């Protein structure tokens, strides 16, 4: 009788739908980049942030349930021009003393393309103490084990924001018309996540 009961339980379990679980990744800062570009007169000035952290929850079988959160240390802004970086940290721009962090929290994923492993991620982005809803073009690059046996996954994200929406309004008018600095900021993230328990 006990054996029959055991067989019945095993049979029932075999028919249960398989459940996939989202993996938790910590952003590997040594192999991740957070970069931006903005128009300056005729050219695009490129920069990056050197200090940041992030967490990713992702299940390739259910990408619509992916979640991302992160923060950036604004003091770490780097455009390879020390005087310009000092100006960007000042009250004219980021005002690092009062607003030391940029934060990001995802709120949903839509418009998934299974073939391209891409979609649109909605999120709340806070810069200069101002929170705005943004949409990022995101892609999943896959998952592998590195030579040391650690599970890694790759992700990319891109978006464009208007800096004035976040209170970053400093500019200088040009004699010939127009302004010194563009308003649109293109943000690009190439992230490598390390799977953690």
- CATH of residue 168's domain is 2.40.128.110
What is the domain range of residue 166?
19-196
Rounded mean pLDDT for each run of 10 residues along the chain, 197 residues in total: 42 40 92 95 92 96 94 98 96 97 97 93 98 98 94 98 94 77 95 93
pLDDT for the residue 179: 75
What pLDDT score does 187 carry?
98
Q: How many structural domains comprise the chain?
A: 1
140/142 Cα distance (integer angstroms): 6
Q: How many CA atoms lie within 13 A of 54 on its CB side?
A: 29
**How far apart, in whole angstroms, are the C-alpha atoms of residue 118 and residue 100?**
31
Q: Is 186 helix (H, G, I), strand (E, B) or coil?
A: strand
Residues 6 or more apart in contact with residue 180 via CB below 8 angstroms: 40, 41, 171, 172, 173, 174
Nearest to 69 by CA among 27, 130, 20, 118: 27
Looking at residue 171, its pLDDT comes to 85
In a domain, 10, yes or no: no
Q: Quote the pLDDT of residue 170.
A: 87
**Residue 14: inside a domain:** no
Cβ atoms of 166 and 132 within 8 Å: the answer is yes
Q: H or E element: which one contains 89?
A: helix 82-89
11: in domain: no
Note whether residue 7 is domain-resident: no
Scan for tokens 């929290």, then name that residue. Answer: 105
* pLDDT score recorded for residue 15: 37
pLDDT of residue 3: 47
Q: Is the CB of residue 88 less than 8 Å from the CB of residue 78?
A: no
Q: Which of 148, 10, 121, 128 is nearest to 66 (CA)?
A: 121
> Is residue 30 assigned to a domain?
yes
Strands (E), 76-150: 77-78, 101-113, 118-127, 130-145
């Amino acid at each position: 009788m006990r054996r029959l009961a055991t067989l019945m339980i095993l049979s029932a379990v075999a028919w249960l739908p398989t459940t996939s679980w989202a993996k938790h990744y910590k952003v590997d800062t040594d192999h991740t980049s957070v970069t931006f570009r903005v128009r300056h007169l005729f050219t695009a000035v490129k920069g990056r942030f050197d200090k940041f952290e992030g967490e990713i929850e992702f299940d390739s079988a259910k990408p619509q349930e992916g979640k991302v959160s992160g923060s950036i240390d604004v003091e770490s802004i780097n455009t390879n021009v020390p005087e310009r970086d000092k100006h960007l940290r000042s009250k004219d721009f980021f005002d690092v003393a009062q607003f030391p962090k940029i934060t990001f929290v995802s709120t949903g994923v839509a418009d998934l393309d299974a073939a391209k492993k891409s979609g649109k991620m909605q999120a709340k982005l806070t810069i200069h103490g101002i929170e705005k809803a943004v949409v990022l073009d995101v892609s999943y690059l896959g998952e592998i084990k590195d030579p040391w046996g650690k599970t890694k996954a790759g992700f990319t994200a891109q978006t464009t924001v208007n800096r004035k929406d976040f209170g970053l309004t400093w500019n200088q008018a040009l004699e010939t018309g127009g302004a010194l600095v563009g308003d649109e900021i293109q943000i690009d993230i190439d992230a490598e996540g390390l799977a953690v328990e």
